[in-house]
Amino acid sequence: MRKAFYIPLGLFVILVIILSIGLTRDPRTIPSPLINKPAPEFTLPLLYRQAETFSPQQMRGKVWLLNVFASWCSGCRAEHHFLMQMARIPGVNLYGLNYKDVPLDGKKWLEQFGNPYKSVAKDINGRVGIDWGVYGVPETFVIDKQGIIRYKQIGPIDQKAINETLLPLIKKLQLQ
Amino acid sequence: MAGIEFAEFDDPEQAELYKIMVDELRCLVCQNQNLADSNAPLAKDLRNEIQKMIKQGNSRDEIVDFMVARYGDFVLYRPPFKAYTLILWLGPFIGLVLAIYILINIIRSRSTQQSDEISELDKQRVSDLFGTNTRTDKK
């Protein structure tokens, strides 16, 4: 056989390899451009103590997590008991953003399943969600002491995400 | 346009820009639809945001920057020309050039193989097949 015969075959094999790698990736997970950028500022009223507000500025000097959730979101139900588990770990500062929810529904949900958050801000019209690039709740952001977003979890948190990603990252950031 | 709500602009240029923007930006929830076609609540919010930005006099580039800063290049149906999109943009042309090069090579090698002269070896084979020996007949 002539050498030229193997060129299309070789190209085909390369194509198959590239496409196979593509199949193992999740198209729903879009890399956030906000990673390693300052967390977008906002000031929102709290879900419970309504006279008070939450803003990322208040969290300077602390490693904290912002979990975007809603009572209408089924993935949030799936991750909820993992959030409850995380909230019990010392050094984990978990805050909630109740995204495009009816405040009463949000409260009911937390009363029914437990409230893992230190505070919950309410983003009724979803405008803060746009600034944070939220497109599929639940989403969880890890923010460092300088107010820089270091990680974004898209979709529900599970045991693996806690043990392998979130807790090691929180520990690492707390030492900085 | 299934999900699109009425967007009113006094300026026809702004209306045109709005149409272009919702057409070229991708809905992140239902990824194979643009903002104009999507019924997702997020698409609706983003359409409202774009409408607001246009009315405030923002340019096309400003709106694109706003979206890319939040959702990444993925929101653009027309991917930008960057180092990591080089293969995407140039790949088809490289493939075309390569294909033409291979095609020319094949055609050339074929045309050199064909010749009008019949070699001694082929003449011998012909006579062997017909069971005659032309060279002895002539003598």
> What number is the ipTM of this complex?
0.78
**Residue A34 touches partner B, C-beta closer than 8 Å:** yes
- Residue B45 contacts A, CB cutoff 8 Å: yes
Residue B2 confidence (pLDDT): 45
C-alpha distances (whole Å) from A152 to each of A14, A35, A67, A125 are 32, 7, 10, 22
CB contact under 8 A, A4 and B49: no
pLDDT at position A75 over 50: yes
Choose among B49, B68, B74: nearest Cβ to A130.
Answer: B49
Contact A47, A106 (CB under 8 A): yes
pLDDT of A145: 94
Pick the more confident residue, A37 or A29. Answer: A37
* pLDDT (0 to 100) of residue B139: 46
Q: Per-residue pLDDT averaged across A87-93, rounded?
A: 92
* Cβ–Cβ below 8 Å for A126 and B42: yes
A-chain residues within 8 Å CB-CB of B72?
30-33, 133
From A7, A125, A131, residue closest to B102, measured CB to CB = A7
Torsion of Cα atoms, A85 then A87 then A90 then A95, to 10°:
150
pTM for this structure?
0.76
Structural contact between residues A98 and A44, judged by C-beta atoms closer than 8 angstroms: no
Chain A residues inside the 8 Å CB shell of B85 = none
With CB atoms and an 8 Å threshold, state whether A126 touches B49.
no
Beta carbons within 8 Å of A95's beta carbon, 6+ residues apart: A54, A59, A64, A65, A66, A67, A117, A118, A119, A120, A121
* Domains present along chain A, CATH in parentheses: 34-175 (3.40.30.10)
For the cut 90, the answer to whether the pLDDT of residue A38 exceeds it is yes
Q: What string of pLDDT tens digits covers the 139 residues of chain B? A: 444 566 778 888 899 899 989 888 888 877 778 888 888 888 989 999 999 999 999 999 999 999 999 988 888 888 888 877 888 889 899 999 999 998 999 898 887 766 667 778 888 888 888 876 555 554 4
Backbone φ/ψ region at B27: left (φ over 0), alpha (ψ -120 to 50), beta: beta
Chain-chain contact of A100 with B41 (C-beta, under 8 angstroms): yes
**Local structure of A89: helix, strand or coil:** coil
Q: Is B88 on the interface with A (CB under 8 A)?
A: no
User: What is the predicted pLDDT for the residue at A1?
Assistant: 56
